[in-house]
Amino acid sequence: MEKILDKFLRYVSFDTASDPMSQTQPSTAKQFALLELLLAELKKMGIADAHLDEYGYVMASIPSNTSADIPAVGFIAHVDTSPDAPGNDINPQIFPDYDGNPILLNKEKDLYLDPAEFPELLLYKGQTIITTDGTTLLGADDKAGVAAIMWAAQYLMEHPQVKHGPIKIAFTPDEEIGRGVAKFDVEKFGAKYAYTIDGGQIGEMEYENFNAAAANIHIQGRNIHPGYAKDKMINALIIGTELNNMLPVEEKPEFTAGYEGFYHITSFRGTVEEAQINYIIRDHDPDKFEQKKDLIREVVAFVNKKYGAKCVTMELKDQYYNMRKQIEPHMHIVDKAVRAIKAEGITPIVHPIRGGTDGAQLSYRGLPCPNIFAGGHNFHGKMEYLPLESMEKAARVVLGIIAQYTV
């Protein structure tokens, strides 16, 4: 058996950042390099039923090796990394037997991963911590999940004495930009139930997530020489700032937790002549989600009434919905995951995802799909880190879930 660490380090060496501005599927061609490698590795394991389609989906099947009537169970992870931070030339650093002190990420930048700022680090004293070098993200989101599934698949292929039902595996592109399963063929995948291995801290088990929308706002101003601008200039940057300040201050990500939703401004760029603002809107409660969308519509309408009907245009689109409604009729899949986590000596942390996964959309398309931890922390940035032992446990939990279906 290849060590899971070696798999992970190989996978993060690929630049797989997705691109929200792209209209292709997948959004970046470079994701295919890792997908092709995964396909080759699956086939090398002896998994004959494995393929990669034109849309960037790797799907594979491990046949049942028992006569028992067991439903097909799937495991899914995404290969893309967030475009919010550089994903190329990743140089992981490995710190065995972590002693609880700040970890130096980058001497030149005087950059440390400090438990005073990230107290969760202290949960992993004595363990092996994998970090970035302070210039890129790490890619544990979700290459730790990819590595966990690949290790579990290899284990099953090398240990045929382990009885199991039909196992389905999928690796997807573009999850980070909300398009991970846009062209995913649920029927072809063939699983009755599935799990994304895309969570964070060890023990996490999630079956509810945000309802999500994206608002793309364009502001058309009017640039006039500032010396002669009185009663003529319409400054798009000023209007954008005014619009943003009309949204509730307390409903920003940095002021919310648990079930609280938010408006998150993800980009603001432009000139006096025109500007573009992008938001994501999130809430677990469907009624509050609709209220948030109504408020941003009212803000846009107010600004247009003040500055002119053609000043601001907005494209507001739903992205995904809370999967809890789709999971609750099948709570046995959650119970099986919780038992598998406990069997590894881990305390389950069952809480709502303050985000979304491919599983949210798949659950609404007839494939109930809760989310399991992969082990990483501080996703999407240079402070990302992964305790090796957490990723190892994620792989064991995959095997444990499979075992639960054979009971």
CATH number of the domain to which 239 belongs: 3.30.70.360
Of the candidates 264, 320, 263, 321, the one whose C-alpha atom is nearest the C-alpha of residue 294 is 263
Is 175 considered catalytic here?
Answer: yes
Number of domains in the chain: 2
Q: Domain boundary at 277, 301, 320, which?
A: 320
Does residue 89 sit in the same domain as residue 49?
yes
Let me know whether 292 and 339 are in one domain. Answer: no
Helices marked H in 227-285: 236-245
DSSP one-letter string for 294-308: HHHHHHHHHHHHHH-
Residues 226, 371, single domain; the answer is no
DSSP symbol at 121: G
Same domain, 79 and 203: yes
Q: In the structure, what pLDDT confidence band is assigned to residue 21 with cuts at 50, 70 and 90? A: confident
Q: Which of 15, 174, 175, 392 is catalytic?
A: 175
Q: Which domain holds residue 246?
A: 211-320
- Looking at 41, 80, 133, 358, which residue is catalytic? 80
Let me know whether 234 and 141 are in one domain. no
Q: Is there a single domain that holds both residue 176 and residue 39?
A: yes
pLDDT at 148 over 90: yes
pLDDT at residue 357 is higher than 90: no
115: domain CATH number? 3.40.630.10
Instruction: Mark whether 112 and 193 lie in a shared domain.
Output: yes
Give the Cα separation of 14 and 31 in Å (integer): 8
25 and 118, same structural domain?
A: yes
Quote the pTM value.
Answer: 0.88
pLDDT, one tens digit per residue, over 278-319 is 999 999 999 999 999 999 999 999 999 999 878 999 999 998
Q: Please report the pLDDT score of residue 29 as a whole number.
A: 97
Give Cα 192 distance to the centre of its chain: 22
Residue 333 shares a structural domain with residue 382: yes
In this structure, are 204 and 55 located in the same domain? yes
Question: pLDDT (tens digit, 9 = 90+) per residue, 119-129?
Answer: 999 999 999 99
Does residue 143 sit in the same domain as residue 43? yes
Question: Which residues are paired to 196 by β-bridges?
Answer: 76, 371
* Same-domain pairing of 31 and 167: yes
Q: What percent of the chain has pLDDT over 70?
A: 100
User: Of 320, 355, 375, at which residue does a domain stop?
Assistant: 320
Boundary of a domain, candidates 294, 320, 346: 320
